[in-house]
């Protein structure tokens, strides 16, 4: 493989399975998941609660290992936390006793390196947190904390950003705002993003492709292309094409459940 090799995807998920050993026995969380993520692509993963989305993302980040299968970054299997991979979780996970600057600095202290101060300043400006460096997490709204978490992840200049329902705890207006922010950041400096969400609208707004997982054990049920131009304006998001795609994905996820619930309803 060479630097100019365009056939190697940024991320390759190949037959990824994960079994958890629990007190009540083995639990198969994901089963034989395979898909690629190209460089600078945004791919969302959607699926019903408990289907293994977080399990899959943790495996992509190297936070835990797979039971079988391989996840490779630039063609090399991921075997543990990797400096090229950044993560943003649903909770901002800021340390409450550190101000915002010190929170952003924290991963660098652990690594024993210095952040690129100009880059961090640019990021803080980009997300509208200029002048908030001295504030403590309790002084920031949920949306602001999550912006800080995005800055913290991007300050490490990852080549892949993994996001696990990062805006799931925010109100819908703030969530829309944050989606636009991610789009703007990406348009400024495209990077590879894997985005987990249970909001189909959010997945369609942000992604080039949407991977739909089946109920647990999570298997890749379908992969949709999202061919709409960026930036994705309200006008684009209100088109019939977006509506139809949203419904198709929704049916994939809930259709199965509706079908299963019908016989029971018929009995009553
Ligand atoms: P999702 O993110 O799609 O809601 P998860 O990946 O969190 O799903 O969980 C998938 C399944 O694996 C669930 O049934 C969950 O209870 C189980 N699970 C997740 N983490 C663990 C763990 N550390 N130990 C045992 N079971 C787990
Ligand atoms: Mg989850």
Same domain, 57 and 110: no
Same domain, 208 and 77: yes
CA distance 233 to 96: 36
The pLDDT profile of the chain, 268 residues, written as one tens digit per residue, is 445 455 799 999 999 999 999 999 999 999 999 999 999 999 999 999 999 999 999 999 999 999 999 999 999 999 999 999 999 999 999 999 999 999 999 999 999 999 999 999 999 998 999 999 999 999 999 999 999 999 999 999 999 999 999 999 889 998 999 999 999 999 999 999 999 998 999 999 999 999 999 999 999 999 999 999 999 999 999 999 999 999 999 999 987 666 666 665 544 4
Same domain, 120 and 171: no
The two tokens of residue 12 are 């390759």
Say how many Å lie between the CA of residue 54 and the centre of ligand 2: 4
| Nearest protein Cα to ligand 1, atom 14 | 50
Question: Is 85:58 a contact under the CB 8 Å cutoff?
Answer: no
Last residue of a domain, one of 157, 173, 189: 157
| Nearest protein Cα to ligand 1, atom 19 | 55
Last residue of a domain, one of 157, 183, 204: 157
Q: What is the pTM of this model?
A: 0.93
Extended beta strands in 42-140, E state: 42-46, 68-73, 76-77, 85-88
| Nearest protein Cα to ligand 1, atom 27 | 20
CB 49 near ligand 1, within 6 Å: yes
Question: Is 45:195 a contact under the CB 8 Å cutoff?
Answer: yes
Same domain, 165 and 239: yes
CB 27 near ligand 1, within 6 Å: yes
CB 26 near ligand 1, within 6 Å: no
CB 22 near ligand 1, within 6 Å: yes
- How buried is 227 (Cβ within 10 angstroms: 0-12 exposed, 13-18 middle, 19+ buried)? exposed
Strand order in the sheet with 11-22: 25-37, 11-22, 68-73, 76-77
Say how many Å lie between the CA of residue 53 and the centre of ligand 2: 5
Say how many Å lie between the CA of residue 54 and the centre of ligand 1: 7
| Nearest protein Cα to ligand 1, atom 17 | 29
Contacts of 224 (CB under 8 A, 6+ apart): 209, 210, 212, 245, 248, 249
Number of domains in the chain: 2
CB 55 near ligand 1, within 6 Å: yes
Domain membership flag for residue 4: no
CB 50 near ligand 1, within 6 Å: yes
CA distance 21 to 252: 29
């Amino acid at each position: 493989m060479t630097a100019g090799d365009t056939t190697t995807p940024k991320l390759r998920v190949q037959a990824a399975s994960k079994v958890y050993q629990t007190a009540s026995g083995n639990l198969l969380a994901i089963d034989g998941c395979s898909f690629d993520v190209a460089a600078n692509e945004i791919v969302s993963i959607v699926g019903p609660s408990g289907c293994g989305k977080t399990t899959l993302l943790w495996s992509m980040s190297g936070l835990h290992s797979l039971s079988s299968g391989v996840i490779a970054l630039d063609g090399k299997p991921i075997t543990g936390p990797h400096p090229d991979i950044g993560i943003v979780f649903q909770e901002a996970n800021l340390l409450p006793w550190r101000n915002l600057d010190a929170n952003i600095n924290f991963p660098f202290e652990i690594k024993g390196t210095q952040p690129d101060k100009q880059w961090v300043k640019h990021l803080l400006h980009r997300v509208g947190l200029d002048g908030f460096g001295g504030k403590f997490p309790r002084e920031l709204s949920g949306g602001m904390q999550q912006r800080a978490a995005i800055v913290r992840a991007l300050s490490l200049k990852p080549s892949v950003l993994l996001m696990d329902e990062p805006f799931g705890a925010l109100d819908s207006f703030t969530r829309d705002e944050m989606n636009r922010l991610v789009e703007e950041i990406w348009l400024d400096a495209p990077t590879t993003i894997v985005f987990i969400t249970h909001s189909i609208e959010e997945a369609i707004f942000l992604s080039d492709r949407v991977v739909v997982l089946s109920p647990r054990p999570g298997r890749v049920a379908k992969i949709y292309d999202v061919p709409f131009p960026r930036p994705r304006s309200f006008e684009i998001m209100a088109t019939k094409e977006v509506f139809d795609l949203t419904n198709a994905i929704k049916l994939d996820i809930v259709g199965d459940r509706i079908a299963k619930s019908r016989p029971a309803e018929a009995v009553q």
